[in-house]
Amino acid sequence: MEQNTMPRVSLRVSIILHFILVRAALAADGVESSLAGGLKTRFSRVFSFGDSLTDTGNLVRLPAARDVPERRLPYGQTYFHRATGRASDGRLAIDFIAEALELPHLTPYLAGESAGDFRHGANFAVGGATANDAGFFERRGLKSSVPVSLATEMAWFKELLQHLASSSAQEQREITASSLFVVGEMGGNDYLIAFFQNRTLDEAKTFVPGITDAIRSFLTELIGLGAKTILVQGMLPIGCEPRILELFKNSHVAGDYDDETGCLKSINELAEQHNRELTGVLDELRLAHTGTAIIYADFYRAVTDIAASPRKHGFGGEPLLACCGGGGGPYNVKLTARCGGEGTAVCGDPWEYVSWDGIHYTEAANRVIARGIMEGQYTTPLI
């Protein structure tokens, strides 16, 4: 069975997604809704932000990223049969969301040449992007390899909005009010910078308030520009990432591994702390901006559910094993190489795997994660 023969997101899921998002938007206004009424509402565009879990081709267009592995196969092999800049063998969760809304895959902001390229929205996410700006890391003696933060992505969005509707502020607000905004997981790279530059878990935990404050500022600015429906993804379970498990495998005792998933509990506590603070921020924003629907997508639970019961979700029995690796051992990860590099190899059945390259997910996993979000299984407030 080949991955690209798997069925597309069904019409039923598309309808459910419309219903969930429309109901959330109407609930923010205190208006009752019905399924029939919800189906009449369409989002004219989707604008997405984030890092490599959401990037559909911006990183590979940066001058500083001429040699990143996302530029070449086996990235993109399953669905596109070529490298597109996506950090996966195929589609990402944002691709499945666009498909469910019956919209084309989003054009990466750095790939567009005219307003017509963005008539269905745009993707501003960049692989390696951080929530905090470069100064945050410089003050701590750390270095970010990608010069893009949430502030950068916001500046790009405002430039594009001006380009799409330069005639009036009212026209710009009509665009933002009729669009779905997807803010992908942000902050993961901030923490990974600390881990891969030999900083402690305790130091990484001190990053949480700064990261959630950056997300708060970003969302506040989006709302100020007229956004009415925003889907915000939480932090993934970092302690379930094969490269992180390989990095820390000699420094954690057996009791630190979760019996159900095999993930590192102490590392996941960081993600849980992040998500507690993030959901608190979202609650505050909901109270302050009652006319905007702010929907939380529980990325953490979506992934840990798969890790705990991989076969239930259609995967093989090794959810913490990277498909594209070469390190052997319990995680098939080689820390000195990346997928597509010398000494690595890709598995023959990526649809059986959750992790693509030890950090990012396979198309099959992205499909399951996206479906869980679209069907409302991992979204709050509950509809």
Residue 86 region, left (φ>0) first, then alpha (ψ -120 to 50), else beta?
beta
Q: Are 54 and 123 in contact (CB under 8 A)?
A: yes
67 is catalytic: no
360 is catalytic: yes
Q: Could you give the 3-state DSSP secondary structure of residue 322?
A: strand
Cis ω for the linkage preceding 381 (within 30 of 0): yes
Active-site entry in 52, 88, 179, 355: 52
Q: Give me the helices (H) in the chain, please.
A: 11-28, 35-39, 93-100, 134-138, 150-164, 169-177, 188-196, 201-205, 208-224, 242-247, 265-288, 299-308, 363-374
Question: 205-216 burial, b if ≥16 CB within 10 A, otherwise e?
Answer: eebbeebbebbb
Q: How far is CA 191 from the centre of its chain?
A: 15
52 is catalytic: yes
Which of 345, 351, 352, 354 has the alpha carbon at shortest distance from 73?
A: 345
Active-site entry in 18, 120, 313, 360: 360
Active-site entry in 51, 190, 298, 357: 357
Identify residue 172 by its one-letter amino acid code.
Q
Which of 166, 153, 271, 126 has the alpha carbon at shortest distance from 219?
A: 153
Question: Tokens 């490298």 appear where?
Answer: 83
Active site residues: 52, 357, 360
